[in-house]
Chains A and B, each alone.
Chain A
Amino acid sequence: MDELLIDFLTETAESLAALDDALLQLERVPDDPEMLAVVFRMVHTIKGTCGFLSLPRLERVAHVAEDLLGDVRDGKLPANAALITVVLGALDRIKLIVSGIVATGLEPDGDDTDLLAELRDMRTRGPAPEPEPAITLDFDTLEMLPPGTIESLAAQIAEAVPMAEATPEAAHGQPAQTIRLDVNVLENLMILVSELVLTRNQLMQIARTETDSRFTAPLQRLSHLTSDLQEGVVKTRMSPILGAWNKLPRIVRDLASELGKQIDLVMLGKETELDRQVLELIRDPLIHMVRNSADHGLESPAVRLASGKPAHGTITLSSFHEGGQIVIEVADDGAGLSTERIRARALAQGLASSAELATMTERQVQRFIFAPGFSTASAVTSVSGRGVGMDVVKTNIERLGGTVDLRSVAGRGTTFTVKIPLTLAIISALIVEAGGQRFALPQICVAELVRAEGSGSLEEGALVVERVDGTPVLRLRDQLLPLVNLRDLLQMDAQAAMNSADPTALTVVVATLGGTTLGLVVDQVFDTEEIVVKPVSPMLRHIKVFSGNTILGDGAVIMILDPNGLSRAVGHAGLTATVKDRPVDTQAAATERTGDRSAMLLVRLAPDASPVAMPLGLVARIESIAREDIEFTSDQPVTQYRGQLMPLMALDSSLAMADHVPVLVFADRGRSVGLMVEEIVDVVEDQLFIELVSSRPGLLGTAVIAGRVTEIIDAGHWLKQGWEDWFSDNPGPRNAKQLHLLVVEDSAFFRQLLIPTLSAAGYHVTAVDSAMKALALRDAAVPAEFDAIISDVEMPGMDGLQFARLLKEGGPWMDIPLIALSGRFNPIDIRRGGAAGFCEYLGKFDREALLAALRRHLDQHERQAA
């Protein structure tokens, strides 16, 4: 194709998209001269250029449209809905012809006489007049108006004013300087930078093993430059999400008139940027979702008015960044999903039995709309309701490595939430091992990591592998997860399959693969890494369980697992057929153990390390210390802090020294130790499901925080070493008589936190994981003696409140101070705790408050006893 023609087509495609938008704005603010001028100029340019390129059909249509717009500009015709509809019709024809040229290089044949006649007709006769919008009233009429009318008018005007103001800004908001670049140039740059990042990572890995290397400083600099360069190049691939949204106003407008509904489309976060490649791929699913909201979500004006809502329905699109992902929400304020209809439909289509449906939660029922071929629309409209809706959307989003979910409230509307990665070139992945080889599992499909016993009893919340119809499953909270061994899926070393042997402990990655949540059994789990996705060689492309390959920091080449491919492999193996997402009976669901709510501080310990978490309750203060304030005493960095010398520790020697170093201050018995970190990333407070890892000292466990598996470090372990060196010659005050505490806490994680904290404060600690075990200590032949009891409130079996009431009923422990620790911390719970017999009710996990409460009550207790 002629280069000139290619340029024209590119430009025209851009102007056409902008024109749609401009015309819709014009319809809202009909007499905006500036917007009129913009529209006129764009059509004029198209007409002019196609005359030059000899595209007669295109020129004719554009010419007549231009004439009509010229009359509007000159004030001869009003720009009302009827006229805009005709002009939009002309634009559609132009698009059709342009796409014909793109496909064949030639103008397609076709008859435009109807359209041209309509345009000319509109020009000579003018559009049908619209109801007079402006009202003139005299005071007598005003007096007669029902009360409240003026106020509502005023509100409407106030709403319209900012809209009018915003319009010219949008017209001027074009980028000042842009250049057109071949996409391939950027793609190549991206590949090169990716290579550079890999090489840098390898170098850093080598450098980490060598202390005092001359290379350290220049490497550090190279590392920073590489990161900056990577960021810069990634930025060139980014464009605002608006690129995927710009067709929507027009689509919604057409839908509204087709369906006889009144629909407002609100777009928030238009500027949110994402990778161009992702943007292209997300466009169609989004259009589908908006259509779905307009058709199924919003009610007709009559129904809306009857239920006390405004006649205008609103579809709100919003997008924002969250934890390395982009979140897009499509919300409508319609009737919400009818779970009754979905239930009936699911039953009719044989997706679930009535017994299964009866035990399902609202949300589980609502998710049926993502099932293939599912549709609740009673009438098949031309818009949707053909049963090829949401399942296709879901598949396409998952293909991008994203997820989609929904929330629906009856009468209030439905919100779809799509989460997709910012870029497809670099992903965050969990490195796992199976059959002696490592694989990368995209982080987005990892829900949590758990360890399960291959055999054993079901008590005490231990995770045990059970069997349903011969299929190994894991009971995790309210779900039975089918277990699949990654080794089997990859057809590696079949004889070690878990069906034949009964292994003692399994490492299970709870993963969402193509809509099914299952437990993927792996041999070992390593860290999460940011990996550069490289396409697999054509010779291996037929293996669907891999989506790419990558080179790790240590130079090893590993395969990236494709969640959808794995899901298909699971399906082929017939492993999920028997227990697909089957909820456990309601009784079991009622006793489910919720995760502990805890505040975590996310920090980066070294320049390129992934963020790690530590319980915020352990940190006394966060300070920023200037580099010149750091001194060295016998090779130990220290700083003056509140009139004392405070030793500074770093967990990673490759910590870059900025002008100001963030320092986490840990305090204990009047002494402080600072932990230098690279960066404080965030504070997250959430329900965390913490998976314990005991194999590595200093590591408490892992949890999924902000969508990624994050290591939780035991800062205390590291600090203790430096601490002992530092304070060995000036020991702190010790309690003459060591007080004995009993800790009742079902969460191993919190036990691991509490024991060292309390021990460090000078107490002798005994910990048990259930109230029953604590009572066993009391009722033993020789009852154990404690000075205070600290108990969790939410525990499986006997909870903390029951436990407290039992203790206060009588027995040897009746008068021991009882302190409650709870994730739920509100006045009602506190009152309930007090009534049960707790003398203190504290949040999880506030170290200072706990130690203060202990001091308070133990002193009091001793005085009373004396």
Chain B
Amino acid sequence: MMLSGVMAGPSAPPAATELPTTYVTLNLAGQLCGVPVSAVRDVLRQQPIAPVPMAPPDVAGNLNLRGRIVTAINLRRRLNLPPAPPGLQPMALVTESNGELYALLVDQVCEVLSPDRKRFEPNPPTLPVTWTKYSAGLYRLENSLMIVLDLSRLLALSVEAS
């Protein structure tokens, strides 16, 4: 089912051939994740975010990126992960979807990686349910797993959100 979803979506690349080669990696509740570098417009740290009353719980609010209004998404909330420890200043990855800008709030933005594509594999059945929904597969790196986030799913208007 997951695989067919990937194959069907025109934006989601079919497994090996069109797989992005370079990823911006990030840390989310201790899990290493990757986002295709081509999808990242900006990396921000400690931006003032204006909360929006009555917004869905995973929408942290709005922020001003050089005169454009960006919707900030609390990824921990979105993925049903435990809330960030107090004092942690989240960083933001800015990405675009359907002409709208979104800032994904993560614990930390790490480095840019170009992993060997032979290390890519689809979601294993052992992957916790929290992740399967938004994972497009994963890379087995030297000493960790990197989950490739499926941005189009992350930014889709989920029923739970509204």
Contacts and interface: CB of A to CB of B under 8 A. Distances in A.
A852 interface: no
Contacts of B100: 537-538
Query: Which of A435, A490, A543, A558 has the most B CB atoms < 10 Å from its CB?
Result: A543
Interface in A539-568: 539-540, 542-543, 545-546, 549, 551, 555-559
Contacts of B71: 537, 539-540
B71 to A, nearest CB: 4
Given A534-B69, A539-B71, A556-B50, A549 B55 contact: no
Contact of B69 (A490, A491, A549): A549
A551 B67 contact: yes
Interface stretch (B5-13, B21-29, B57-65, B142-150): B57-65
A608 B52 CA distance: 29
A437 B51 contact: yes
Nearest to A438: B50
A714 to B, nearest CB: 34
A11 interface: no
Contacts of A195: 67-68
A271 B155 CA distance: 46
Contacts of B102: 537
A207 B73 CA distance: 33
A557 B64 contact: yes
Nearest 4 A-B pairs (CB), nearest first? A490-B53, A537-B71, A557-B62, A195-B67
Interface in A691-716: none
Contacts of A557: 50, 61-64, 69
Contacts of B98: 538
13 contacts: A195-B68, A199-B67, A437-B53, A490-B53, A491-B54, A534-B69, A539-B71, A539-B73, A543-B52, A545-B54, A546-B52, A549-B69, A557-B63
Interface string B90-115: 00000000101010000000000000
B64 A556 contact: yes
Nearest to B51: A437
A540 B59 contact: yes
A268 interface: no
B50 A539 contact: no
B122 interface: no
Interface of A: 195, 198-199, 435, 437, 490-492, 534, 537-540, 542-543, 545-546, 549, 551, 555-559
Nearest to B53: A490
Nearest to A436: B51
A80 to B, nearest CB: 57
Given A537-B100, A538-B157, A490 B54 contact: yes
Contact of A540 (B48, B52, B64, B68): B52
Interface residues of B, number: 24
B3 interface: no
Max chain B C-beta neighbours (<10 A), residue from A435, A437, A546, A557:
A557
B40 interface: no
Given A549-B62, A551-B67, A557-B63, A539 B56 contact: yes
A539 B161 contact: yes
Contacts of A542: 162
Contacts of A437: 50-51, 53
A200 to B, nearest CB: 10
B69 to A, nearest CB: 5
Contact of A539 (B48, B59, B63, B68): B59
Contacts of B62: 537, 549, 557, 559
Q: Which of A491, A545, A556 has the most CB of B within 10 A?
A: A556
Contacts of B73: 539
Nearest to B68: A195
A559 B67 contact: no
Given A551-B69, A556-B50, A557-B69, 13 more contacts: A195-B68, A492-B53, A537-B100, A538-B98, A538-B157, A539-B161, A543-B54, A543-B55, A545-B54, A546-B52, A556-B48, A557-B50, A559-B52
B118 to A, nearest CB: 37
Contacts of B63: 557
B58 to A, nearest CB: 9
B106 to A, nearest CB: 18
Nearest to A492: B53
